Amino acid sequence: MTTILDPTDERVPVERQISPRPGVISGAVALLDISKPRGNVLIDRLEELLSERLPEVTFNRYAKPTFTKPAPEPLRRQIQNENNFVIEALAD
Amino acid sequence: MQMVPFSLQNSRGEDIAFPGRRPSLVCFVKEDCPTCREVMPVLAAAYTASAEALDLYVVGQTQAGNRILEEEFQPPFDILDDSTLKVSFATDIDTVPTLFLTDAQGETRQNLVGFVKEEWRTLLDEQVPNTLDIDWEQLPDWRPGCGSLSVDPTLAARLQAEAENSPLRARRIEIGSADDEVEFMFDQGFSDGLPLVPPTPERVLRMLGGTQRDPQEVLAVMPPNMGEVTVEKVAINAVMAGCKPEYMPVINTVVQAICTNEYNVHGVMATTMGASPVIVVNGPIREQIGLNMKLGALGQGNRANATIGRAVRLLIRNIGGARPGGTERSTLGNPMKFTMCFAEWEERSPWPPLHVERGFAKEDSVVTVFTMTGGPSLIVDQESRTAAQLAGTMGLCLESAFNPKAHFSTDCLLVVVPEHVDTLVSDGYTKADLRRRIQEVTARPVKDLVGNEISGAGLSPRLAAKMSAEELEKPLPKFKREDDIHIVVAGAEAGKFSGAFHGWATGEIGSISVSRKIDEL
């Protein structure tokens, strides 16, 4: 961690902004398995429960090639293009 | 030096707080200090003999060192962990061992620096109720002790930055360990397009060491955002630009100069013409900070020239808020928007230097800010052998500023190189003679400055039609006033290539050059 001092007049926040939260889940939700052992079990169960509660919503499954590295750019782009939300699951 | 309240851990991870309920002895030690090792048995004897009438706190400065001291000396007390050095720093000690005697409220009553046997013996005899098991004869009369780690030059700036009374007030931005700090600064828009030095608190504190001003002093309010430029913000941007601390007085003064109504940095940044400040430095500070005024003075390769100008531009961007596409609207832009700062080679000039012409004493250090839109365009003349010929060439070249028919429109900064100086001086030319000759050779009848089929630029034909024959014949020199021709000397000994910066709109509607003395020297 490096700390630097703000060189500006500090009228704009420098923190990274989180995406707006819409309040209602609709459209498509990505379920991303990061490929840690048994992550798929967690996501299977999650998909089951969410599908019951949100019958109008489509759930799409994705998996990272390996949990040790960031998702490849094409996969990130695909998830972004095909979904409105993403749930990333870590299980150990 | 005054003891401050603290809570430090012993080697078992227990928190030990000072002050306790009794008067105390507090001793700062570090393992690799021979004097600290000498006093370890003394401290042990004092602890044993104090019989709970006194609290004894022994504060060590490294975890590894504390372990070694505990193993070697097996003291009856715990050595407290001040490896962050925050207590050492806050107490302002510069030597170990330093022994404090405090009352029950933690107020310092006495302190002893290093080891002077008689002082230690007197203090302990007075304060410790029981007889000390110490063979004083075996101890040296005097040992100076060692430097406290809290004043180690490699650590002191960090400690000062982290301390509660730190002079730094700017917002702190944490950059995640997975993020590249240089890329982060690009992403935040802090940069002029080139990499920046990360302005860590340590670096900013070192930069502030170059100025006598209070870090929170507001030097100016900078448009267009009307951001307050504090000395601390100057230091942050100076770090990013790559400056040395000794450049700070120059940058502070430039900030004050450009944020005047006369200079009008708002207009300079906003204009579609592509204007930018040129900083000229005069006086003794040129040599003190290593500004280049000789070979390549207007070019790259010298740290002071390159980074002072860059720091000013970063301040305009980050505090003023003038960013390309925002309020900075230059059609083409120009490379001087990265940086432009140089010094006048006063010693090579037979004429009064720029700052003396502008009312300052020769021994004053002064910055002058001029607004350029073009140049440095070369004045190539290797043939003229008389001053009148050479000054004539300079005039003809300067006539191209804006466009040749734009008379009375702008000003200029003429940078005369040594070989050209020699030619001018050989005929006894003064700066006034040079200005007069430039005006003479550029004087054109008004009728020649009217827009025509060759070039539509110039005086409107509709206006010209309303003028009398006499008015149309009246000669008009390039510059409205001879004072609009600013002259400095710089450059290498070899080469008959002077340079000229063409100005922007001058006078009340545009930008008027401002000179300001560097008064913190």
Evaluate if residue B265 carries a pLDDT over 80.
yes
Share of chain B above pLDDT 70, in %: 100
- Residues of chain A whose beta carbon is less than 8 angstroms from a beta carbon of chain B are 1-11, 14
Asked, for residue A23, whether it belongs to a domain, the answer is no
Q: Is B497 helix (H, G, I), strand (E, B) or coil?
A: strand
How much is the pLDDT for B356? 98
Q: Give A23-50 pLDDT, tens digit per residue.
A: 899 999 999 998 888 888 899 999 999 9
How much is the pLDDT for A14? 63
Q: Token pair of B521, please?
A: 């020297």
Chain A residues with CB under 8 Å of B319 CB are: 7-9
Q: How confident is residue B411, by pLDDT bands cut at 50, 70 and 90? A: very high
Contact B168 A5 (CB under 8 A): yes
Query: The whole model's pTM is what?
Result: 0.72
Tokens 């401290």 found at: B43
Asked, for residue A82, whether it belongs to a domain, the answer is yes
Mean pLDDT, residues B250-272 taken together: 94
Q: Give B438-492 pLDDT, tens digit per residue.
A: 999 999 999 999 999 999 999 999 999 999 999 999 999 999 999 999 999 999 9
How much is the pLDDT for A21? 83
Q: How confident is residue B179, by pLDDT bands cut at 50, 70 and 90? A: confident
Asked, for residue A69, whether it belongs to a domain, the answer is yes
**Interatomic CA distance for residues B277 and B413, integer angstroms:** 12
Q: Give B180-201 pLDDT, tens digit per residue.
A: 999 999 999 999 999 999 999 9
Q: Give B425-436 pLDDT, tens digit per residue.
A: 999 999 999 999
Q: How confident is residue A15, by pLDDT bands cut at 50, 70 and 90? A: low
**Residues paired with residue A62 on neighbouring β-strands, in sequence order:** A32
How much is the pLDDT for A18? 62
Tokens 């928007």 found at: B337
Considering its fold, how many domains does chain A have in total? 1
A8 → chain B, closest CA residue: B318
Say whether the ipTM exceeds 0.90. no
Q: Token pair of B451, please?
A: 């827009």
Sorted by sequence, the CB contacts under 8 Å of residue B183 that are 6+ apart come out as none
Q: Give me the count of residues in chain B.
A: 521
What is the number of alpha carbons within 13 Å of residue B380 lying toward its C-beta? 1
Q: Token pair of B507, please?
A: 């006078």
Asked, for residue A16, whether it belongs to a domain, the answer is no
Q: Token pair of B298, please?
A: 């207007």
Evaluate if residue A17 carries a pLDDT over 60.
no
How much is the pLDDT for B357? 98
Evaluate if residue A89 carries a pLDDT over 90.
no
Element (H, E) at B499: strand B497-505
- Indicate the residue of B198, B225, B314 with minimum beta-carbon distance to A4: B198
Contact A14 B176 (CB under 8 A): no
Query: Are B91 and B2 contacting, i.e. CB atoms less than 8 angstroms apart?
Result: yes
CA distances from B378 to B381, B396, B416 (A): 9, 12, 10
Element (H, E) at A75: helix A73-82
How much is the pLDDT for A59? 96
How much is the pLDDT for A34? 86
Share of chain B above pLDDT 90, in %: 79
Buried b (16+ CB within 10 A) or exposed e, B247-258: bbbbbbbbbbbb
Q: Token pair of B59, please?
A: 């504060």
Q: Is A57 helix (H, G, I), strand (E, B) or coil?
A: coil
How much is the pLDDT for B165? 66
Q: Is B306 helix (H, G, I), strand (E, B) or coil?
A: helix
Helical axes B231-241 vs B303-315, angle rounded to 10°: 130
Average pLDDT along chain B:
94
Q: Token pair of B108, please?
A: 């310092």
Asked, for residue A70, whether it belongs to a domain, the answer is yes
Query: Are A13 and A63 contacting, i.e. CB atoms less than 8 angstroms apart?
Result: no
To the nearest whole angstrom, how far is the Cα of A37 from the nearest Cα of chain B? Answer: 24
**Interatomic CA distance for residues B294 and A92, integer angstroms:** 67
Q: How confident is residue B160, by pLDDT bands cut at 50, 70 and 90? A: confident
More confident residue, A2 or B444: B444
- Indicate the residue of B173, B199, B314 with minimum beta-carbon distance to A14: B173
Could you give the domains of chain B? 6-162 (3.40.30.10), 181-443+478-517 (no CATH)
Asked, for residue A80, whether it belongs to a domain, the answer is yes
Asked, for residue A17, whether it belongs to a domain, the answer is no
CA distances from B467 to B240, B404, B450, B458, B484 (A): 56, 21, 11, 15, 27
Contact A7 B233 (CB under 8 A): yes
Evaluate if residue A16 carries a pLDDT over 70.
no
The Cα diameter of chain A in Å comes to 51
Q: How confident is residue B19, by pLDDT bands cut at 50, 70 and 90? A: confident
Q: Token pair of B30, please?
A: 């570090």
Q: How confident is residue B242, by pLDDT bands cut at 50, 70 and 90? A: very high
Sorted by sequence, the CB contacts under 8 Å of residue B106 that are 6+ apart come out as B3, B5, B18, B19, B24
Query: Are B482 and B411 contacting, i.e. CB atoms less than 8 angstroms apart?
Result: no
**Interatomic CA distance for residues B475 and B443, integer angstroms:** 5
Contact B171 A11 (CB under 8 A): no
Q: Give B498-507 pLDDT, tens digit per residue.
A: 999 999 999 8
Burial of A42 (0-12, 13-18, 19+ CB in 10 A): middle
Peptide bond preceding B445: is omega within 30 degrees of 0, i.e. cis? Answer: no
**What range defines the domain where residue A57 resides?**
28-89
Contact B181 A4 (CB under 8 A): yes
Evaluate if residue B335 carries a pLDDT over 60.
yes
**Interatomic CA distance for residues B247 and B234, integer angstroms:** 11
Q: Is A16 helix (H, G, I), strand (E, B) or coil?
A: coil
A9 → chain B, closest CA residue: B319
How much is the pLDDT for A92? 61
* 8-state DSSP, B256: H
**What does the DSSP assignment read for B469-483?**
HHHHHSEE-SSSSGG
Burial of B284 (0-12, 13-18, 19+ CB in 10 A): middle
**Nearest residue to B323 (alpha-carbon basis) of B254, B269, B265:** B269
Mean pLDDT, residues B56-75 taken together: 93
B125 alpha-carbon distance from chain centroid: 53
**Interatomic CA distance for residues B76 and B222, integer angstroms:** 62
* 8-state DSSP, B351: S
Asked, for residue A76, whether it belongs to a domain, the answer is yes
Whether residue B379 lies within 8 A of chain A, CB to CB, comes out as no
Mean pLDDT, residues A56-75 taken together: 86
More confident residue, A91 or B245: B245
Contact A5 B199 (CB under 8 A): yes
Question: Which residue of B177, B183, B318 to mutate against A (max A Cβ within 10 Å)?
Answer: B318
Query: Are B349 and B252 contacting, i.e. CB atoms less than 8 angstroms apart?
Result: no
Whether residue B102 lies within 8 A of chain A, CB to CB, comes out as no
The Cα diameter of chain B in Å comes to 115
